[in-house]
Amino acid sequence: MKIFERKKDGSVKIPHTFVLLFLILICSVILTWLIPSGAYTRITGANGVKVVQPDQFSYIAKTYVHLWQIPTLVVKGFSSQNVLIFSTLIAGGGFHVLLMTGSIHSLIWIVVKKFGNQEAIFIPLLMLICALISTTQSVTIFMAFTPILVMMAKAMGFDSLTGAAIPILGGAIGFSTGTLNPSSTIVAQTIAGLPPYSGIGYRFISLFVFWFFTALFVVLYAKRIKAHPEQSPMYDLDQTAQDKAVLEGNSQEPLTPRKILCLLTLVISLSILVYGCIYWKWETQHLSIVFIWMSIIVGFIAGFSPSTTARYFVDGCKEFLATAMIIGIAKGITFVFSNAHVMDTIVHSLSLVMSQIPLGARGAAMYWANLLINIPITSASGQAGAVMPIFAPLADMVGITRQTAVLAYHFGDGFCNYILPWSSALMGNLGVANIPYDRWMRFMWKIFFLWILVGSVLVFIAQMIHYGPF
């Protein structure tokens, strides 16, 4: 049985995403055999978050996760992510109903005519909007936007990676800089004993710095792909994508009153969703409710019969099924590390290394440490509960402010999620954009190293200016 097959031209054919995830699962299980099991004593803080006692770590009896447990952990992953999986399917169904009205294609044609040669404005502006929205939200909120932006990008002469990069990378910047996010900023600052939302000015500066360099990279990439489409990692797949034929056949159709009302329904639906998440504390399941109602209303406006609307909705759910399964399988990787009780060991080991780093590099080193910790702990609040009780007093001991430690946590927790194949924020958006993980990484690895460089500089500056209040 060959996992890595060769193409006719001699190059290696990358296995299916499911195969890659199961290979990662196997490697993760084997890795846990080598790492000792350990545990911190945990207490529940005033905000209800369980935090570790930094001086109460101990090694415990080795807990082994066996290879035959992988299917069980995958099922557990599906169960834990059932709301997100269901919401993904519903969003796919709702979007497909809208797509079949032809309104999206007509809108894309108008956008292309107006901004087709203005990518230096179009791309940065949309990325900034996504970044500002994600100051309070997870990037999963953009799964409804991503297919639209992918189609727009392809119609403008770019590739699907350019379209997907706008919401994914823009959202990543907004979330990872921790300006306003309650699930990361408030939790981390509370544990560190800092006033809620203190230091917000420097975090907004960080957001715009990351946005500038990332948008510049994407614009330059888009220009290169527009001039040389064959250089895109997605070139072959974009040429055969189903929506390409649809777009070419319908994009020049005019915006009729029905289509305008359908688009208005989409705008209202997404506005309600964003407003609800920010001000009404809506969660992922509310995405499903909004898109069910949107499907019904759009179907009625378009003049579809109830049966036609239902058929289109089910067809859309089918197209997003692989995405939903990826989310569940990817979550199983997290359970491998947690069931083996090695997460605390990893955190403890890194904290010991941190204390030996030269003073000038300690802030950046704390950022790098959080990047590594994020590999097994992709939850923002989970990572805050694991690292901040340790890194806050460690910051006091090594001569950097606690606010700098929180900043390092933000950068490490957030940016790493966009290279990890078990990150639901990444894989959900890649799935709806029909972008394989390996193609994404051929595009993404340069940006990730750019993020590491920019983040290290920003944390170093924070350390030098004694970013506070303390």
Residue (of 283, 281, 311, 282) closest to 295 by Cα position: 311
More confidently predicted of 354 and 171 = 171
Residue 256 has pLDDT above 80, yes or no: yes
How far, CA to CA in Å, does 433 sit from each of 90, 193, 237, 440?
A: 15, 41, 11, 11
| CB crowding 23-45: b at 16 or more within 10 Å, else e | ebbeebbeebeebbbbbbebeee
Q: Convert the pLDDT of each residue in 305-362 to its tens digit.
A: 999 999 999 988 887 777 677 777 777 877 888 888 887 887 778 777 877 777 778 8
Amino acid at 57: F
What's the whole-number mean pLDDT along residues 46-70? 79
Q: Convert the pLDDT of each residue in 79-95 to its tens digit.
A: 887 887 887 788 778 88
Backbone angles phi, psi at 142, to 5 degrees: -90, 5
Amino acid at 106: S
Token look-up 């947690």 returns: 338
Rank 236-245, 281-290, 291-300 by mean pLDDT and report only the highest: 291-300
pLDDT band at 139 (very low <50, low <70, confident <90, very high): confident
Query: What would the two tokens of residue 411 be?
Result: 């950068």
Structure pTM?
Answer: 0.72
pLDDT band at 470 (very low <50, low <70, confident <90, very high): confident
Q: What is the DSSP letter of 53?
A: E
What's the whole-number mean pLDDT along residues 241-261? 65
Share of the chain above pLDDT 70, in %: 87
Among 21-35, 132-146, 207-221, the least confident range: 132-146
CB 62 within 8 A of CB 37: yes
Query: What would the two tokens of residue 85 be?
Result: 């999986």
* CB-based burial label for 135 (10 Å; 0-12, 13-18, 19+): buried
Residue 246 has pLDDT above 50, yes or no: no
3-class SS at 107? helix
Sorted by where each begins, the domain ranges of the chain are: 73-464
pLDDT band at 282 (very low <50, low <70, confident <90, very high): confident
Residue 1 has pLDDT above 60, yes or no: no
Query: What would the two tokens of residue 284 be?
Result: 């992922």
